[in-house]
Structure 1
Amino acid sequence: MKHGKKYVEAAKLIEKAKLYEADEAIALVKKSASAKFDETVELHIRTGCDSRHADQQIRGAVVLPNGTGKTVKVLVFAKGTKLDEAQAAGADYVGGDELIPKIQNEGWLDFDVVVATPDMMGVVGRLGKVLGPKGLMPNPKAGTVTMDVAKAIADIKAGKIEYRLDKANIVHVPIGKASFTEQQLTENYNAIMEAISKAKPSSVKGQYLKSISLATTMGPGVKIVANRY
């Protein structure tokens, strides 16, 4: 894969074989951000888990102390008074059965997170084939299946992100934007690492976190010391 001039220049700042401390890595990643837009800083964690086993799954959510830097659109499936509650709490879209054809047939996906009350999961389940592959299916572990829709919306808007293991046993999460200060990115990084450390499945043998790297959307990766966890 051929990289552009800016990427090549940014890559010169980083020693490929070196494992950096988190604060050094964050400083380097900020320096290497060269795109014309405010790049997202992404964290990639390769684990020793085996996602084929149900008891080695990692899934949860954490509220980043400094948010994600992104405006998140929330869709809430609810009924009765919960619809009003969701609207009052700042949901971007609220509804029930009537939204199914819009999503299924018209391909409407103008939202980033889906929240549902437990009594609506039968309805939302019909969208499994659409929402599932995009990681948008509400889930109790992530706090997106709940009767307390107001709290769920407030947390999401404040910077709550979901983390989960992919098929390659890697967790990919954003920790903010390149425009964030080093301190803001460090605080967000620490919050995620603490949550993922606590989420270690008891059945995982050997090293839990095999490698950790940080990169901006368009920038090179910076490897971080992983044996702290």
Structure 2
Amino acid sequence: MAVLTKKQKAVVAKVDKSKLYTLEEASNLVKEVSYTKFDASVDIAVRLGVDPRKANQMVRGVVSLPHGTGKETRVLALVTPDKEEEAKNAGADYVGLDDYLQKIKDGWTDVDVIVTQPQVMGKLGPLGRVLGPRGLMPNPKTGTVTTEIGKAISEVKAGKIDFKVDKYGIVHAAIGKVSFDAKNIQENAQEIISTLIKLKPQAAKGVYVKSIYLSSTMSPGIAIDPKGIN
């Protein structure tokens, strides 16, 4: 087990492991307990009372964070020539089709989000083994397969993220940076929590939101009281 430095011990001591914090308290505390020299990401982990192995309990969706993620999202627009100008004007970092399909086939995946058109999806199918495990495969449910290319790119650039419950029933998402105001962190967290509550599957029984943790890169997790979340 790694030995904690004096600074790390001081940080850990600030988090009361026996306490369930309010979202407001956690949003303030997560800024205090960050000890990295860089602008650390703020992450949320929500454990849900669902069984992801059952199709009728899968939780997946998108949310537009009111204050963005603080991260520059690299967008690849795989579009037909008539949509290239629209994609560029909306801020796509890479725009094209066959040339980028070949680059992906050769192993290039240096992007965060891929946006494409319905008629292009047929060409992406064979690349599922490359894109799927990296979470890069476009999906109509997340708005990344659309005829409104410009709108989709603008939303992603503004802070729209997609999420999916993992095999343990947990949804993980980056919701900001330590440099954000605590209020902005709180509002971003509230937005994704509220969205998850709206997506509660009818088949889910018992307690739906079991636990919520807020943390920054390398910091201890801060437990939030689920009962205090609306």
Amino acid in the other structure paired with 1:13: K
Amino acid in the other structure paired with 1:56: Q
State whether residues 60 and 163 of structure 1, in contact with CA within 8 Å, keep that contact through their aligned partners in structure 2.
Answer: yes
Q: Which residue of 2 aligns with 1:181?
A: 181
State whether residues 211 and 224 of structure 1, in contact with CA within 8 Å, keep that contact through their aligned partners in structure 2.
Answer: yes
State whether residues 7 and 218 of structure 1, in contact with CA within 8 Å, keep that contact through their aligned partners in structure 2.
Answer: no
Q: Which residue of 2 aligns with 1:103?
A: 104
| Alpha-carbon displacement from aligned partner over 1:33-91 (angstroms, at most 9, x marks no partner) | 11000000000011111110111111111111111111111001110311221112111
Percent sequence identity is: 47
Q: Which residue of 2 aligns with 1:15?
A: 16
> Given the two structures, how large is their TM-score scaled by the length of structure 1?
0.96
Report the CA distance shift for 1:124/1:76 in structure 2 as closer, same or farther (over 3 A). same
User: What does residue range 1-229 of structure 1 map to in structure 2 within 5 Å?
Assistant: 1-2=1-2, 4-5=4-5, 6-105=7-106, 107-227=107-227, 228=229
How many Å separate the matches in 2 of 1:20 and 1:204?
26
Amino acid in the other structure paired with 2:100: L
RMSD: 1.2
User: Per-residue deviation at 1:3?
Assistant: 5.2
Amino acid in the other structure paired with 2:148: D
State whether residues 62 and 161 of structure 2, in contact with CA within 8 Å, keep that contact through their aligned partners in structure 1.
Answer: yes
SS at match of 1:133: helix
Amino acid in the other structure paired with 2:70: G
Report the CA distance shift for 1:102/1:184 in structure 2 as closer, same or farther (over 3 A). same
Amino acid in the other structure paired with 1:2: A
Report the CA distance shift for 1:162/1:3 in structure 2 as closer, same or farther (over 3 A). farther
Structure 1 stretches of 4+ moved >3 Å: none
> Given the two structures, how large is their TM-score scaled by the length of structure 2?
0.95
How many Å separate the matches in 1 of 2:4 and 2:30?
17
Report the CA distance shift for 1:121/1:217 in structure 2 as closer, same or farther (over 3 A). same
User: Per-residue deviation at 1:214?
Assistant: 0.4
Q: Which runs of 5+ in 2 are unaligned?
A: none
Q: Which runs of 5+ in 1 are unaligned?
A: none
User: Per-residue deviation at 1:152?
Assistant: 0.6
